[in-house]
Structure 1
Amino acid sequence: MNGTRLRPATFKYIESELYAYPDYQREINKIRDEIINGQEEQDENIGAGKNSYRKPGRPTERTVTRLDDNKRMNHLKEMVHVVEQVYDRLDDTQKKMIQLRYWSKRGANWEYIAEECFISRRTAFNYRKEIVGAIASKLGMN
């Protein structure tokens, strides 16, 4: 984390993203399905005749463009990618800590987590700070 401290609001934001991470892949799939299988753009020109202007019929191109331009889906994909990158570099104890705190027993207290991971409470807090800092660094938030 290059010796810089995260602002408390940034720290809480990244923790909230960690809590929400398990739901992100499902939400990405839902958004993708809505875009791909959703309503086609309605032609508002009800009096269109043979010579009137219409958009070229390129439904695949429009779908790909909508997928690429969807800000929410792009944000979710970036968060999934960054969290997975950081998570993959953690040791087994840190992975277990993340799973207990953020992904399985939401709200599990630090004493319980430290006991389950066979580490001290202070070490758990240090791991937490390092992990959140690594995510912030990858997101350019430090």
Structure 2
Amino acid sequence: MYDIKVTKETFKKVEAEWRNYQQTLKEIKRLEETIINPYQETWQRDDNIGGGHANIIRDPTQATALQLAKHKQLDYLKQIVQAIDTVYEKLSDEYQALVKVRYWSNRKYTWDAIADQCFISKRQAMRWRDEIIHVTIEVLGWR
């Protein structure tokens, strides 16, 4: 059914990423804000007596853009959000309803309750979950 063999750990990790999606969006925003508006001390000591700044980027916009581009954690989080967004947008309304109940609800539901809310069987709900997670893993390029 699926092209690649997925480890149990990867499956759980991707499922956790779906669950933490809203928190990840907040973390991305926080990281970007930290890079764009870094804390700066109110005073600076000049240790560079008589020397130049040959390797220092003077343009603050360019420096900020470089920081955003090089930030590994930010890149990682953005890849996950992009993968989830890509998968979610292609899901049918029924599958999206399952995502909302299973991962984006403030409550933890049993599979029976999830199935009832989505008007499907428990087994079907679990199959849909498996499909969603496997497609997400493929989009991420994980195994």
Pair in the same fold by TM > 0.5: yes
Contact 1:19 1:106 in 2 (8 A): no
Does 2:105 correspond to 1:104?
A: yes
Taking structure 1 as the reference length, the TM-score comes to 0.89
Partner of 1:134 in structure 2? 135
Change (3 A) 1:93 1:45: same
Alpha-carbon separation, structure 1, partners of 2:3 and 2:80 = 23
**Residue 56 (structure 1) shift:** 4.5
Runs of 4+ with >3 A deviation:
1-5, 40-45
Change (3 A) 1:16 1:5: same
Q: Deviations over 1:9-51 (max 9, x none)?
A: 01000011111101122211111111111135999873433x3
Partner of 1:62 in structure 2? 63
| Further displaced range: 115-124 or 105-114 | 105-114
Alpha-carbon separation, structure 2, partners of 1:88 and 1:116 = 21
- Residue 119 of structure 1 aligns with an amino acid whose one-letter code is I
Long gaps (5+) in structure 2: none
Does 2:3 correspond to 1:10?
A: no
Contact 1:101 1:108 in 2 (8 A): yes
Alpha-carbon separation, structure 2, partners of 1:29 and 1:139 = 21
RMSD: 2.2
Change (3 A) 1:48 1:129: same
Alpha-carbon separation, structure 2, partners of 1:31 and 1:56 = 21
Long gaps (5+) in structure 1: none
Equivalent pairs, count = 141
Change (3 A) 1:25 1:56: closer
Taking structure 2 as the reference length, the TM-score comes to 0.88
Change (3 A) 1:56 1:101: closer
Partner of 1:22 in structure 2? 22
Partner of 1:119 in structure 2? 120
- The share of aligned pairs that are identical, in percent, is 31
**Residue 3 (structure 1) shift:** 4.0
Alpha-carbon separation, structure 1, partners of 2:89 and 2:131 = 14
